[in-house]
Structure 1
């Protein structure tokens, strides 16, 4: 069974994240969505809220599991039995950043990274942007998956 690991803060889990996750599910048997936790970086949503939101989206799909982790993503992926990491790329800045991390993960941990380019209609969506709009009282539902 081929498992992949999709890591992020997912604060919140956006339509862009869902698009990447859904495309991964078309290629792999199992997807582990890993919510990275950094005690020094407070998110707008608690870990339980983020976990519940993602589980609601994939309710009934036994191919998807949600975990939280601290430390290095490559270690969490190995613990999950993943053959590779999956990352979404929106633009050249994302690409350069992800390329460098992918090389480190491959050299140090022996795990490959699959980069999926964002759907052009969603490439402007980021968790940071959604959180900022939400913080200022705007309705952000158009950027978030239903369910």
Structure 2
């Protein structure tokens, strides 16, 4: 069984995240959306709310599940028996960052491959950081998040 992890904070999930995950779904038998908990990070949404939103967005996807995790992502891969990690790339800067992380992860856990999927051009400017800023300032995030998420935001 091909199991992949799609890790992130998803604070909040964006249409760019959804696009990456939908494009990855046919490639794997099971994809775990891993919502990483980082105590040093100030999140906009609670972990439970992020989990609920992602579950709602992918409720009809039979091969997608959502789990919260703490600690190293490679340790979580081992726990769920994932041999693949899915990451989205929007820019050259994202590539450099993701390449470094993938190489470190490869050293720590050689049997896990990182799969980098390029963002579609229309989604390359969308990030959770920008969406959080719009939310904090009471702006309209409807063009940037999945419709199922709007009820939670």
**Shorter-normalised TM range:** over 0.9
Listed one character per residue, the Cα deviations across residues 4-55 of structure 1 (whole Å, up to 9, x for unaligned) are 0000000000000000110110211111000000112121100110001000
Match of 2:104, SS state, is: helix
Structure 2: gaps spanning 5 or more residues: 149-153
Q: Superposition pairs for residues 63-142 of structure 1, below 5 Å? A: 63-110=63-110, 111-142=112-143
In structure 2, how many angstroms separate the alpha carbons of the residues matched to 1:99 and 1:17? 19
Cα RMSD after superposing both structures = 0.9
In structure 1, how many angstroms separate the alpha carbons of the residues matched to 2:7 and 2:101? 13
In structure 1, how many angstroms separate the alpha carbons of the residues matched to 2:114 and 2:52? 26
Corresponding pairs, count: 147
TM-score norm. by structure 2 comes to: 0.93
Structure 1: gaps spanning 5 or more residues: none
TM-score norm. by structure 1 comes to: 0.97
> Which consecutive segments of 4 or more residues in structure 1 shift more than 4 A?
none
